Amino acid sequence: MSEPLVEARGLTKTFGDFTAVAGIDFEVQPGEAFGFLGPNGAGKSSTMRMIGTVSPVTSGHLTVLGLDPAADGPTIRARLGVVPQENNLDMELSVYENLLIYGRYFGLPRKEIDTRIKELLAFAQLEERAKDRVEPLSGGMKQRLLIARGLINTPDLLLLDEPTTGLDPQARHLLWDRLYRLKREGVTLIITTHYMDEAEQLCDRLVIMDKGAIVAEGSPRELIAAHSTREVLELRFPPGDEEDRAAERLQGIGSRIEVLPDRVLVYADDADEAEAQVRALGIMPEATVSRRSTLEDVFLHLTGRSLVD
């Protein structure tokens, strides 16, 4: 395997008494899409800011593109693309001017930027809006422009912090499609997200973070295989009804039972078979759903909590 693009050993970030990142280890290989999955406050963004060299490492070891963030910040940032969680485009300027100014911050010659902007506008499907001001663009368009801006310097590594938070489903799918394309072109991506579907769609490999620590690592498929069953049977009972009692009687069906506030989850390799066993016991839930296990189930199993509160 070639030299990793990012390597962290015991990486720690504290703010006063608060530990945001508690000694994590990970590596990102060239060409892969690497994800940090976890709920808000898990330490994903702090980790991302350290990789982006805009947040000093408290302790531990971190190299980005083989360089030391503390000593070589500008050199590293010249080869990074950053798509922030919050839109920080220049609202008064046009789509084109936003890209131009950003390219100039990298010291790129005007001609090179012009060529690059043409490609990026096509990529972001914003060609018709090039001369328009940014302010009235839709959320999805602004997000695509942010990604285009992050690519202006043809980075070796693109950092995306919660890239689809706040977008409607259609805009999210369009964005995923664009990111998938980048991935196929060989751009290395690091993505933070609290959406398990996003992590499953985009990440070759991911770490699950909780309270500043990494609780599991692997491909989405590996994580599900290691920490969950193939399928899940969801049982819904009338509110306040026999949920707890039913859960007790369900013991023994499948390999694990989780009682959530609104439903009971039965983890089994065959959900239909589990449902037959439930009904054989004379338990009659109001509704049942059988589905495949997701990363949400992995997170629930590892932390006892849901990803999105």
Partner 1 sequence: MAAPSLRVVEAGARVYRRTFRASIFSAFVNPALYLVAMGIGLGRLVDTSTSGPSLGLPYLAFLAPGLLAATAMQTGAGDASYPVMAGIKWRKSYQAILATPITVRDLIVGHLGWVTIRITLVTSIFAMFMVVFGATSAMQAAAAVPAAVLTGLVFAALVTGYTARLKDESGLANLFRFGIVPLFLFSGTFFPVEQLPALIRPIAYATPLWHGVSLARGLALPEVGFVANPAVSLAYLVGLAILGGYFAMRMFRKRLIL
Taking CB under 8 A as the criterion, the residue among 34, 102, 195, 237 binding partner 1 is 102
CA 234 – CA 94 distance, rounded (Å): 49
Question: Which region, judged by CB under 8 A, interacts with partner 1, from 35-43, 100-108, 111-119, 269-277?
Answer: 100-108
Give me the sign of the Cα torsion angle 26, 31, 37, 40.
Answer: positive
Taking CB under 8 A as the criterion, the residue among 22, 93, 130, 225 binding partner 1 is 93
Counting contacts by CB under 8 A, is residue 250 touching partner 1? Answer: no
Counting contacts by CB under 8 A, is residue 245 touching partner 1? Answer: no
**Which residues, 20 to 59, sit near partner 1 by CB under 8 A?**
49, 52, 54-56
Which strand (E) or helix (H) includes residue 295? helix 295-303
Question: Which region, judged by CB under 8 A, interacts with partner 1, from 60-68, 97-105, 111-119, 228-236?
Answer: 97-105
CA 51 – CA 65 distance, rounded (Å): 10
280 contacts 264 by C-beta, under 8 angstroms: no
What is the smallest separation between the CB atom of 171 and partner 1, expressed in angstroms? 21
Counting contacts by CB under 8 A, is residue 201 touching partner 1? Answer: no
* The token pair that represents 180 in the structure block: 């998938």
166 contacts 139 by C-beta, under 8 angstroms: yes
* The token pair that represents 98 in the structure block: 């936003």
Token pair 């043409």 in the structure block, residue: 118
Counting contacts by CB under 8 A, is residue 80 touching partner 1? Answer: yes
Counting contacts by CB under 8 A, is residue 227 touching partner 1? Answer: no
Q: How many CB atoms lie within 10 A of CB 248?
A: 11
What is the smallest separation between the CB atom of 248 and partner 1, expressed in angstroms? 48
What is the smallest separation between the CB atom of 63 and partner 1, expressed in angstroms? 18
Q: How many CB atoms lie within 10 A of CB 240?
A: 6
- For partner 1, the binding residues (CB under 8 A) are 15, 49, 52, 54-56, 73-75, 77-78, 80, 82, 84, 86, 88-93, 97, 100-102, 104-107, 149, 153
